[in-house]
Amino acid sequence: MLTINKSSENNKAVLSLAGRLDTVTAPDFDKTVREVIPGITELELDLKKLEYISSAGLRVLLTAQKIMNTQGTMSVCNVNETVMEIFDVTGFSDILTIKN
């Protein structure tokens, strides 16, 4: 189960994720990202309530990061310990802008 909360003002969008981001829920997240991303210059992902992220979820983060690299900035905030460990192990902590 994954709940995504969207909020946006001007050119900034914030997506708050709660639950599990895995093979089952990644397509939903992918869809939301693609809906939100056109035209914005700042994307913030709030992972405060994200319990788990699988490689399918990481793939969506990577896609979002690559798109945002061409049109603005993307940051990830409130990363908990479990998810941070996954970011560290997979090397994602090197390519993401993580603000805690």
Partner 1 sequence: MTENKKSFWGDLREKLTGDDMFHDNEVNANRLGSLILLVSGILLGIIIILTVIGVFPLPLESVLSPSIQAIVEILILLILCRIAKNDAWWLKYVLMIGLVLVYARLDSMLTHKVSILMVLPVVFSSRYFSRNLTRFTAILSTVAFFFSAVWGAMHGFINLNIVTMEKGTEMIATGGFIGETVRNAGVSDGMLIMNTLLYDYIPRWMMFSITAIISSNIVSRGREMIISQHEKDVKTARIEYELNLANAIQADMLPNIYPAFPDRSEFDIFATMDPAKEVGGDFYDFFLIDDDHLCMVIADVSGKGVPAALFMMASKIIIANNAKMNKSPAQILTDTNEAICSNNREEMFVTVWLGILEISTGKLTAANAGHEYPVFFSPGEKYALFKDKHGFVIGGMRGIKYTEYETVLEPGSKIFLYTDGLPEATDAEGKMFGAERMLEALNGSLSCNPVSTLDNVKLSVDSFVKQAEQFDDLTMLCFEYKGKTNK
Cβ of residue 55: shortest distance to partner 1, in angstroms? 4
Q: Are 13 and 42 in contact (CB under 8 A)?
A: yes
Residues 14-53 interacting with partner 1 (rule: CB under 8 A)? 23, 26
SS3 for 33-98 is HHHHCCCCCEEEEEEEEEEEECHHHHHHHHHHHHHHHHHCEEEEECCCHHHHHHHHHHCHHHHCCE
Does the protein bind partner 1 through residue 58 (CB under 8 A)? Answer: yes
Nearer residue to partner 1 within complex by CB, 7 or 97? 97
Chosen residue from 18, 56, 77, 84 binding partner 1 by CB under 8 A: 56
Cβ of residue 44: shortest distance to partner 1, in angstroms? 21
Does the protein bind partner 1 through residue 89 (CB under 8 A)? Answer: yes
Give the Å distances, CA to CA, from 70 to 12, 41, 98, 100. 15, 9, 18, 24
Residues contributing to the site for partner 1 (CB under 8 A):
23, 26, 54-56, 58-59, 62-63, 66, 88-92, 94-95
